Structure 1
Amino acid sequence: MLRSMYSGISGLRNFQTKLDVLGNNIANVNTYGFKKGRTIFKDLISQTVAGASAPGDARGGVNPKQVGLGSQIAAIDTLHTGGSTQFTGNTLDLAVAGDGFFQVMQGNETMYTRAGNFYMDGTGAIVDGDGRYVQGELGKITIPTTASSMSVGQDGTVYYVDLPPGGADKIAAAELVFEPIETPFKKAEAALKVAEADLKKADADLKKADADLKKAQALVPADAAAVTAAQAVVATATTAKGTAATAVTTATGVLTPLRGPYNTAKNAYDKVMSDNTATLQEAGQIQMAKFSNPGGLEKTGGNLFRQTANSGEVVTGFALDQGFGKTESGFLEMSNVDLAEEFTEMIVAQRGFQANTRIITTSDEILQELVNLKR
């Protein structure tokens, strides 16, 4: 009876462990890059009641007679099957379609993850949510904070659009030289345009006044008052046109000596600007890692894995290389937990746990009957 009770106890412990693993899977159903666990049982040592005997001439062989002593945990596997991808549209949200892990630095130790929700820190370096640097071939990858845009290719190459090195300083220096020359030239140019517009209007007004005067003079009988009024308008328009013409002459005199220095300075400024236009540049390439036995990696929390003695040696490379998957920008890999499967396994574990409790209670009832034999 005691053997059956202890067998039941071992079953209770094992199914409790399985429920713990299932609970952890369900708790992480929405954790990016999470890989679910699986509990495997195996039987304990069996007590041999009678050994096996070999067959002879007169009698056949006999199998051994053994009583099992319960079960134990054979393995708690981590299943590295791919999870579904979720579209986010964020450039630094990266998912690996295929094999491979991202590498991040935790102190001096390299850790591995499938969770690609990355960010830029204050210096422009690409980091994970806890500030660990994402590793490229030459270490951390930094994007200039002056970059106007960025993207990540399927091979993990990080691109950005920015001025060439030192371009901002060259442009600032050119603007410092050009602005004192440009400002008075633009001001004189604007004044000339206003004067020319005034002259054009004054000329139109004079033409209209002349036409009105001719109409007044052509009346029969002549209207002396109308002629006098038209002549006054013509005189005023003539004066206005003269004033406007003088203003044009004055503005032209101011603008003309400024034009040569302005053109020279503008040509120099335009050359600096053309030599320092924003272009597409590379910040680095995200390096990937893989293992011959990813199931041998140790979970350390925070969506991270650590290399162990049984995971095999790390093999580094890049997305789209032989044996590595591709990097998808704007997507995140979801957990590979299947809720329907987990709930089904939970029901099986619950019933297994319940059945093992029945073994204990039944054994207890039999022991009670044996004790009652004394009466």
Structure 2
Amino acid sequence: MNILAIAATGAHAQQTNVEVIANNIANISTTGFKRSRAEFSDLLYQSLRAQGVPNQTTDGTIPEGARLGVGTQVTAIRNVHKQGSLTQTGNEFDLAIVGRGWFQITGPNDEILYTRAGSFNKNENGQLVTLEGYVIESPVAEIPDDTVQVTINEAGQVFALRGGQGEPEELGQINIASFVNDVGLEPLGGNLFRETLTSGAPIVGVPGAPGFGTIKQNYLESSNVDPVKEITELISAQRAYEMNSKVIQAGDEMLATVSKGIR
């Protein structure tokens, strides 16, 4: 009897589904967070009766046969790279990308990493850095100590208005990267992603160019988690888990009945 094993695969898959939903809800306030979705597929089928073989009269063949599925499995946990809503912060170093693109960050061991969380600040050297202190990978000069205002336009150009000057000074350009397959990026935690073979190589360009989003200063991109949708999917996953549990219980009772009959 395969009923217990089949139902067990369904319960395990729904448990993973609930864990994915729990992670989404936990990050509902995480800047630039992209929700995940569990993808399922059926397992191999067990052939109980072959199709296409001759029947007893030899005048025809069995049209359908019988194939029994043996359960389900989680085949992927996909990141949904949908634009999150923008939140105005009033901080001149907060940046949001509207449209496609990723900020490039120089991570540990000088590895180039990617993020949508534009919560930047300046370090002791006047460089634009993340909250963890990683420097943004763009040709931007250090922000002078006497700077009274920093302006970053939609094309990523950085200007600094220094004390005693009437005109702002251009410091450089913030470029962003785009990928053929954003879903293929590897999430590392800390709002950072890494390039992989499935994501393809990064295509670096100027914000606002064809295929690239624009930069919005004084804004942050919020998480794209929809609370109502997550709660709805959580209830659905709970019900599916309960049904698989009921099937396990029914299978156990059936086995108990058979066992008593043998005795």
Shift of 1:374: 3.0
Q: Deviations over 1:318-370 (max 9, x none)?
A: 11111001100011000000011100100110011111111111111011011
Tell me, yes or no, if the aligned pair for 1:55 and 1:62 is still in contact at 8 Å: no
Q: Pick one of 171, 183, 189 that aligns with 1:301.
A: 189
Shift of 1:52: 1.4
Task: Kindly report which structure 2 residues correspond to 1:1-375, keeping only aligned pairs within 5 A, or say none.
Answer: 1=1, 3-53=2-52, 58-59=59-60, 61-107=62-108, 108-136=110-138, 138=139, 141-162=141-162, 277-375=165-263
Q: Deviations over 1:84-124 (max 9, x none)?
A: 00011111111111000001111310110000010011221
Write the distance in 1 (CA, Å) between the matches of 2:70 and 2:46. Answer: 7
- Amino acid aligned to 1:328: K
Tell me, yes or no, if the aligned pair for 2:51 and 2:61 is still in contact at 8 Å: no
Shift of 1:148: 2.2
Write the distance in 2 (CA, Å) between the matches of 1:141 and 1:64. Answer: 72
Q: Deviations over 1:11-68 (max 9, x none)?
A: 1111010000000000000100000000011101110011111799943651131111
Shift of 1:296: 0.4
Highest Rg: 1 or 2? 1
Higher share in strand: 2
Shift of 1:372: 0.6
Shift of 1:74: 1.9
- Amino acid aligned to 1:82: Q
- Amino acid aligned to 1:338: D
Write the distance in 1 (CA, Å) between the matches of 2:204 and 2:72. Answer: 40
Q: Deviations over 1:194-246 (max 9, x none)?
A: xxxxxxxxxxxxxxxxxxxxxxxxxxxxxxxxxxxxxxxxxxxxxxxxxxxxx
Write the distance in 1 (CA, Å) between the matches of 2:102 and 2:135. Answer: 14
Tell me, yes or no, if the aligned pair for 2:101 and 2:177 is still in contact at 8 Å: yes
Change (3 A) 1:37 1:141: farther
Gaps of 5+ in 2: none
Shift of 1:278: 4.7
Higher share in helix: 1
Q: Which has the higher contact order (CA 8 A, sep 6+)?
A: 1
Write the distance in 1 (CA, Å) between the matches of 2:48 and 2:181. Answer: 41
Write the distance in 2 (CA, Å) between the matches of 1:149 and 1:339. Answer: 37
- Amino acid aligned to 1:150: V
- TM-score under structure 1 length normalisation: 0.67
Write the distance in 1 (CA, Å) between the matches of 2:51 and 2:141. Answer: 67
SS in 1 for 2:168: strand
Write the distance in 2 (CA, Å) between the matches of 1:96 and 1:87. Answer: 13
Shift of 1:145: 1.1
Write the distance in 2 (CA, Å) between the matches of 1:365 and 1:55. Answer: 38
- TM-score under structure 2 length normalisation: 0.94
Write the distance in 2 (CA, Å) between the matches of 1:150 and 1:103. Answer: 20
- Amino acid aligned to 2:69: G
Write the distance in 1 (CA, Å) between the matches of 2:174 and 2:54. Answer: 66
Tell me, yes or no, if the aligned pair for 2:115 and 2:191 is still in contact at 8 Å: yes
| % identity of equivalent residues | 36
Tell me, yes or no, if the aligned pair for 1:157 and 1:285 is still in contact at 8 Å: yes
Tell me, yes or no, if the aligned pair for 2:86 and 2:222 is still in contact at 8 Å: yes
RMSD (Å), alpha carbons: 1.7
Change (3 A) 1:363 1:145: same
- Amino acid aligned to 1:296: G
- Amino acid aligned to 1:84: S
Moved over 2 A (4+): 54-61, 276-279
Write the distance in 1 (CA, Å) between the matches of 2:141 and 2:234. Answer: 44
Write the distance in 1 (CA, Å) between the matches of 2:147 and 2:201. Answer: 38
Write the distance in 1 (CA, Å) between the matches of 2:107 and 2:39. Answer: 32
Tell me, yes or no, if the aligned pair for 2:40 and 2:73 is still in contact at 8 Å: yes
- Amino acid aligned to 1:142: E
Write the distance in 1 (CA, Å) between the matches of 2:141 and 2:204. Answer: 16
